[in-house]
Amino acid sequence: MNLPVAQATPSGTRVFWLLFPFALGYGVSYFFRNVNAVAGPVLAAEFGLGPGGLGFLTSAYFLAFSVAQVPLGVALDRFGPAKVNALMLLTAATGAVIFGCATSPALLGLGRALIGLGAGAALMSTMSAVHLWVVPARRATSIGLVMVIGGVGALVASTPAQMLIDAFGWRNVFFVLAGLASAASALVWLTRSAVTPAAQEQSLGQLLQGVVHIFGTRYFWTIVPAVRLMLGTMLAFQSLWAATWMRDVAGMHDRIAIGNVLVAFNLGMTAAFLLAGALGDWLARHGVPVARTLTAYCVIALLAQGWLMIAPTTLPHLAWGLYSFGANALVLAFSVLARHFPPALTGRVTTALNLLGFGTAFLLQWGIGGVLNLWPVVEGRYDAAGYYSAWLVLFGGQGLALLWLLAETRPAKSAAVGG
């Protein structure tokens, strides 16, 4: 079953079956990431958590996820995506069991952190596998299709998750998730011999030098600020604060109705995964630099955020869906950056970008909870002024980051870096 790295071009059918276990693991990880958006109010009531405590608990996923990224990137390039992802999915399963058995906020935090640590490899291992198994011309499309399959997990984490929690309890939902993560781990392990890791012969020192090289590259810092701040803001809302915003600012009191808006949010994400890479490749073939396509997605995300702040009750399904599409389409940045580095650095490039993105999401999700704490909590609801104060600051920061991206990728510079 071994494939030489130089070939790395199995048939379309074989690629699908090689990547499907990774997609399943990614779907489970996305459910883990977003389920607190619907489980949060139940957890807050049962464990007496305020907005700051709930924000920190949920963002513990992002903190552990971020901490894992640099060693994860080294491991992916050294040992290959299958072995690393299989081990990490078992870690997530262990975290889910601890979370489901928790009797205190501390145990909840430990479980959530282990889930984040284990889920940290789901998407990055998928991207590493795609770059090992798929020819360059089909990589963006392949990543998009895998993410669509995996994105089903995000859809299930909205209204269906709310219905499951209401019917069976949040603890049982997490026990089932632990079983799914374990199953995905076993399936991923079966693909471990499909290809030789690109940096298998490199020493630890060489692997770490590659990390330093990535962080010292100007083009990396051209792309990162806007992409990661916008994705980090979106993740902070998607996995927690969007649901409470709908309840406290938009005046939506039916949890199923809120779940339905989250379905629209996740459909926008799925559409982005399906279209962003293919559209970027198509525009590039017609003379539009990929960096310019990224800026267009940034603009869409900013406009949608403005819509949500100015008119939160006007067509919320469309507004949240559009916001999700623009922000999630920025996953195109992974392919953009990977093209500027050799294949042996693929795992470290993608995890370096992910480190900054999920580190940002951790700080923002926790920070929004801290801002909400500055206003009184009335009958379990947070003050609208707190939401607006936090989101306006984030909106301004994203605007400045977009200006940086535009300045650094203007035509002259784009030509110099192949942008």
User: Which residue's structure tokens are 């630890």?
Assistant: 204
- Alpha helices of 102-158 — where are they, by DSSP H? 105-119, 122-133, 139-156
Integer Cα distance of 62 and 119 in angstroms: 10
pTM, 2 dp: 0.73
With 50 as the cut, is the pLDDT of residue 3 above it? no
Q: Which of the residue ranges 214-223, 226-235, 333-342 would you say has the lowest mean pLDDT?
A: 333-342
State the residue for tokens 């360059």: 136
Phi, psi of 381 (to 5 degrees): -110, 145
Phi/psi at 378 (5° precision)? -115, 115
pLDDT given at position 195 = 63
Instruction: Evaluate if residue 418 carries a pLDDT over 60.
Output: no
Q: What is the pLDDT of residues 250-295, one digit of tens each?
A: 999 888 899 899 889 988 988 998 888 778 778 878 888 888 888 9
Q: Given pLDDT bands bounded at 50, 70 and 90, which one contains residue 8?
A: very low
Where in the chain are the domains? Answer: 12-417
361-407 pLDDT, tens digit each:
888 988 998 999 999 988 888 999 999 999 999 999 999 999 999 88
Half-sphere exposure (Cβ direction) of 98: Cα atoms closer than 13 Å: 19
> Is 356 in contact with 73 (CB distance < 8 Å)?
no
pLDDT recorded at residue 9: 53
Question: Model confidence over 135-193: pLDDT tens digits?
Answer: 766 776 777 777 777 778 877 887 888 899 999 999 999 999 999 999 999 999 998 87
- Reduced to 3 states, what is the DSSP secondary structure of residue 381? strand
**Which CATH code for domain 12-417?**
1.20.1250.20
Averaged pLDDT for residues 129-137: 75
What is the model's pLDDT at position 345?
79
pLDDT beyond 50 at 208 = yes
Q: Which residue has the tokens 């219905």?
A: 163
